[in-house]
Each structure stands twice: as C-alpha cells, then as structure tokens.
Amino acid sequence: MLTPLAYALAVVLALFVAFIGARFLLSPRPAAAGYGVPADADGGTAYLEIKGLRDLTFGLLGLALIAFADAHAAAWYMLVVALAPLGDTVIVLRHGGSKAAAFGIHFATAVIVLLSAALLFAV
C-alpha cells in the first residue's frame, strides 16, 4: 500500500512542478503574481522565464527518475529539490510578498516534498 502512495505523490509533485514551469514560460507575469511576488510592469520577463525553465526541468527530471531509477534515487531527488520551495519562501518574504503566499504556497510545498521523500525512502 505504501509503494503506490509514495510513487503517486512523487508523480503528482513532479507533474505540478513541470506545470508551474510551463506556466512561467507561457504566461510569465500571471505566473509571477501567483508565485507571491508580482513582476515589475516595466521590467522584462527573462528572469521569470528562467524560473520557468528551472521548474520545468526539475519536474521532468523527477519524472525520469521515478520512471527509470529506484525509489531511493527519487527520494534523494525530492530531498534536494525541497530546497527550491524553501528558498522561494525566503524570497517571497524578502521581497514584500504576503506571508500567506510564503507559507501557504512555498513552505507547504516544501513540507509535502519532504513527505514525499520520506515515503520514497520507506519503500
């Protein structure tokens, strides 16, 4: 019972991150607002697109590890990738974003990713 749950959560998280990355590539300004720190109206979107590419890459890498490696490799991936939403929490707080976005989106995501890692390590 634990194995399907561990893999299902990992797949959902990887797909979610890939979706967020695609959203930043296709609609950078609305994606930035959803991130918790709106983009400057007069600024370019290059950095937003970089974030999109980073997230899309993380998501696809996660799916590849889940498909072609063992549970422990995917668990180590999740453990390391949890640094991104933890860092995002700090970034949102440092740049005037709401605490609700910082903790309700980013920190909560980090906790779920760490839970996924723990489940994969337990398989």
**Percent of the chain residues past pLDDT 90, beyond the cut:** 89
pLDDT of residue 81: 95
Distances (CA, A) of 30 to 39, 58, 117: 9, 21, 30
Mean pLDDT across 44-65: 94
pLDDT digits (tens, 9 = 90+) for 18-38: 999 999 999 999 999 999 988
Mean pLDDT across 75-96: 96
pLDDT of residue 1: 84
Report the 3 state secondary structure along 84-110.
HHHHHHHHHHHCCCCHHHHHHHHHHHH
Distances (CA, A) of 64 to 19, 20, 93, 120: 15, 17, 32, 15
pLDDT of residue 88: 95
pLDDT of residue 8: 97
pLDDT higher than threshold 90 for residue 76: yes
Mean residue pLDDT across the chain = 95
Q: From CA 9, how far away is CA 119, in angstroms rounded?
A: 9
